Every structure is written in C-alpha cells, then in structure tokens.
Amino acid sequence: MSTQIIRPARTLQGSLTVPGDKSISHRYALLAGLAEGTTRLSNFSTGADPHSSLACMQDLGATIVHKEDKTIEITGTAGAFLQPAAPLDCGNSGSTMRMIAGLLAPHPHTFTLIGDHSLTLRPMERIRKPLALMGARLDLVDGHAPITIHGGPLQAIDFDTPIPSAQVKTAVLFAGLQATGTTSLTESIRTRDHSEHALRAFGATLTRTGEKLSIPGGQRLTAIDATVPGDLSSAAFFLCAALLFPDSNLILDSIGMNPTRAALLDVITALGGKIKVLNVEEQHGELMGTIQVNVNPGGPRGMHIGGALSAQIIDELPVLAAIAPYTSDGITIRDAKELRVKESDRIALVAKNLKAMGAELTEHEDGLSIPGNQQLHGAVIDSGTDHRIAMAFSIAALRATGDTEIHGAEAAAISFPEFFTHLDELCQR
C-alpha cells in the first residue's frame, strides 16, 4: 500500500486534461469486442477499470492493439465470443462485471466472472434477476461474485428496474440486443445514457418512449472510430478543489458534458463556482466541451442534495461531502443509499475520514448531514482501497491545517492514475 502526503495549498491555477470518461470507455471496449470490424478509440481512459473490460474482450477473442499515438484498436469477434480458457478477471470494476454479464449471457458457453476483494462484496443479484427472466442461468455465491454464466438463447422481457443503476440497465440492453423479440426497460429514475448512445453509434436500433426504452433483438454491430470525452467525474475533484480557493482559476479541456452526467455543473454553480463552457462539440451522441471555473468571493455555499439528483451525481458525492465542512451552510446528502455498495461503503468511510480530520457530522442510512464553517486538520486517511475516497480526501486536505496522509493512495489509479501529479502541478503553496 502506498501513502501520499498532501500539504495545504494557497490556490489552484492552470489548465488540465483528465483521462477519457470511464463509463464511455467501458461501453466502447465491450461493444467493440462484440462488433464486426476494427474500432479505433482515441483518449481511452487510462484508469485500470476500463482496461479490465479490454482484457476480458481479449480473453473472449477480440484483438487489442495499443498504438504508439495512444489510440487503441479493437478488432471484434463479429458476434461470436470464444469460450475463454480461464475465468474473466473484472478486477475492481463493477461496471465490467455487470455489463459484461448481459453481453455474454446470450452466447452458448460457460463464463466465470471473478474480481478483487471489493468487487466480490458487491451485490450481483440485481443483474442475475433480469437475465434469469430472459432465460439465462447465472450462479452466484450468496448474491456475489464469482459469477458463473451458463449462456444460451435468450427471450425478450419487459423489465422495470427497481434500483437506479445504469449498469443494470446496460446489462439488460446488451442482452436484449442479442435476444429473440424486443426487450423493454423502464427506469424509476433516469440514469446515465451512455449505453444508449454507444449502441446507436455501433449501429443498433433503440427507441425511447417516455420512460420506456425498447431494443429489438438479433442485431449486429459494426466497428466505429471515436474519441472518448474527458471524464467529468475525474474533473469533479478539481472543480471541488477550485471551490475552496476564492482566486482559483482552472481550465479543463474536452470534458464530457452528457446531460445525464452534467448535473454536477449545476451543483458546482449552486455552491458558488462560476462556470463557462467553451467549444461544445458532439460525437456519437456524446457532448464535450472545455470548462473554465472560477469562484465567487465569499467561499463555497452549502446545499441539500437528494431525490433524483443523488443518483445523477452518485460518483461525485464523496468529494462533495469531503469539502462540505468548508462551505458556509453545510451539505446534506440523502437518497444515496447506493453509496453503501460502491467500491466501499462510501457513507461510512467518508464519515470516518471526516471525523479523523476533526469534522462534526451525522451519518444517515442513505446519506450524511455535514455542517458548514468547520476548520479541518490534517490526519491519517484510510482510502479503504477505494479510488474516489483517496482522491476526495486529497482535496479536503488542501484546506486543512497541517499535512494529511492518504493511506492506500494507489487506489486512485482505478480511474485516474495521473491524479496526484496533476494535483501537484495545479496547487500553489
């Protein structure tokens, strides 16, 4: 385990390019592996998680070439995955495990999906259920990985997703794409729609009527050329850091601004950030633009985050909670029970680490109430091997008195290997 020492900063200045979006990288990797032809991807995420998706595709018969100019070429299996020789290792990646389960279930082989300790603790019944309704047999161990998929022909279903999860939606859409009949899915709360855009980009037909998505089965995919937009969830750490310093000025290049992810920008604005978006472009249904942020004098304000908003910014909640003590009115987060089953129990771990830094707060089953106007001190932080916890508390450390030690800092590489280098470059001390 590695430790990073974070010293307090005076301000944050400069420009930054973050890695390609993790969610989009996964989807392009998985669909490219199924498609016919060679997909060329620029700005693919440098995070370990999407590389788990790529490695699984290689084990299933796709050819992956890392070019010198950093593009990745994936030659797909044209709809016919091979029987892998060994279990498919999803590493730390819940997205890989849940989405690939839907992609593989219609194929006439036996697949075993394994992952690291954290992934083995995460709930998998949520994907077993719809895939079983379609006719697939998935064996779990007490609701968890390892998962054995006994694949075969699937029938379309009409499914209501009980939990807001883009991963579950994607598993159903990827299975529906290859089933007999038209699969429909209704979401209780609309989640990120990268799978819908990616499926269309690879040539699939998919419709949305109101809250209902429908995908006809028996479709084949064709390779694409694409540039992955920068990851807004990675940019979030720096947007939140900027909020802590009244004279900060940051430019973030080519960031994904898909409306199902961009609620974060409204939150940053509500907290006192002044955001300008420049050069907006669209590719394969995904928007991207350059974001400039400065901060209103007077420091960050507070807010209540709840309802559908919590689902829309679920990955950004740890860093928002970590800066909450420095806001004038505090931040309350509710309706975010899903945080308890992410790479760690993010509610418990945020509470533990904020307390270690001297903060007062109240923990709820579905969130946290964190009063504002609190000065934190440096402390020893436990990342719980969770990338977003390691990075969130590195941001909280910038305004603390004294140095902070982030234990298990290497976890940042799951989504953002360059995080600590960028933090050092942008912080003025």
Phi and psi, residue 178, nearest 5°: -115, 10
Stretch in the footprint of ligand S3P (CB under 6 A) among 75-83, 153-161, 162-170, 292-300: 162-170
Stretch that binds ligand S3P, among 160-168, 177-185, 221-229, 401-409 (CB under 6 A): 160-168
Q: Environment class of residue 120 by beta-carbon count within 10 Å: exposed (0-12), middle (13-18) or buried (19+)?
A: middle
Segment interacting with ligand S3P (CB under 6 A) among 165-173, 259-267, 329-337, 392-400: 165-173
Closest CB to ligand S3P among 165 and 258? 165
Distance from chain centroid for Cα 200: 21
**Number of chain positions touching ligand S3P (CB under 6 A):** 10
Residues 262-281 close enough to bind ligand S3P by CB under 6 A: none
* Chosen residue from 29, 88, 166, 397 binding ligand S3P by CB under 6 A: 166
Instruction: Tell me if 348 sits within 8 A of 311, measured CB to CB.
Output: no
Determine contact, residues 370/332, Cβ cutoff 8 Å: yes
Residues 354-373 within binding reach of ligand S3P (CB under 6 A): none
3-state secondary structure of 183: strand
Query: Could you tell me which residues come within 8 angstroms of residue 210 by beta carbon, excluding any fewer than 6 positions away?
Result: none
How far apart CA 429 and CA 427 sit, in angstroms, is 6
Q: Select from 4, 165, 248, 344 the one that contacts ligand S3P (CB under 6 A).
A: 165
Nearer to ligand S3P (CB atom), residue 12 or residue 55: 55
Residue of 353, 313, 349, 352 whose CA lies nearest to 333: 313
In angstroms, rounded to a whole number, what is the distance separating the alpha carbons of residues 396 and 273? 17
User: Smallest distance, Å, CB 367 to ligand S3P?
Assistant: 15
Length of the chain: 429
Whether the bond between 146 and the residue before it is cis, its omega within 30 degrees of 0, is yes
Query: Among residues 192, 261, 399, 407, which is the contact residue for ligand S3P, using CB under 6 A?
Result: 192
Rule CB under 6 A: choose which of 314, 357, 381, 395 binds ligand S3P.
314
- The contacts of residue 125 (CB under 8 Å, 6+ apart) are 140, 143
Say which of 315, 329, 345, 366 is annotated catalytic.
Answer: 315
Integer Cα distance of 14 and 252 in angstroms: 9
**Which range, of 39-47, 159-167, 275-283, 293-301, touches ligand S3P by CB under 6 A?**
159-167
167 binding ligand S3P? (CB under 6 A): yes
Question: Is position 346 an interface residue for ligand S3P (rule: CB under 6 A)?
Answer: no
Region near ligand S3P per CB under 6 A, out of 68-76, 132-140, 164-172, 291-299: 164-172
By CB under 6 A, name the one of 11, 23, 43, 248 that touches ligand S3P.
Answer: 23
294 token code pair: 């400065």
How far apart CA 288 and CA 118 sit, in angstroms, is: 32
The Cα 193–Cα 322 span in angstroms is 27
C-alpha closest to that of 43 among 18, 68, 64, 75: 18
Is 339 a residue that touches ligand S3P (CB under 6 A)?
no
Between 107 and 122, whose beta carbon lies closer to ligand S3P? 122
Amino acid at position 76, single letter:
G
Q: Which residues pair with 184 in a beta bridge?
A: 158, 214
The minimum distance between CB 164 and ligand S3P, in angstroms, equals: 6
What minimum distance in Å lies between the beta carbon of 99 and ligand S3P?
Answer: 7
| Shortest reach from residue 185's CB to ligand S3P, in Å | 13
Distance in angstroms between the alpha carbons of the first and the last residue of the chain:
27
Tell me which residues in 80-139 interact with ligand S3P (CB under 6 A).
95
CB of 421 to ligand S3P, least distance (A): 23
Is 315 a known active-site residue? yes
| Cβ at position 255, least distance to ligand S3P in Å | 16
Instruction: Find the shortest distance in angstroms from Cβ 30 to ligand S3P.
Output: 11
182: left (phi over 0), alpha (psi -120 to 50) or beta: beta
CB nearer ligand S3P, residue 28 or residue 420: 28
Q: How far apart are CA 408 and CA 343, in angstroms?
A: 13
| Candidates 54-62, 161-169, 221-229, 292-300; binding stretch for ligand S3P (CB under 6 A) | 161-169
Q: Annotated active-site positions, please?
A: 315
Interface positions with ligand S3P (CB under 6 A): 23, 26, 95, 165-167, 192, 314-315, 338
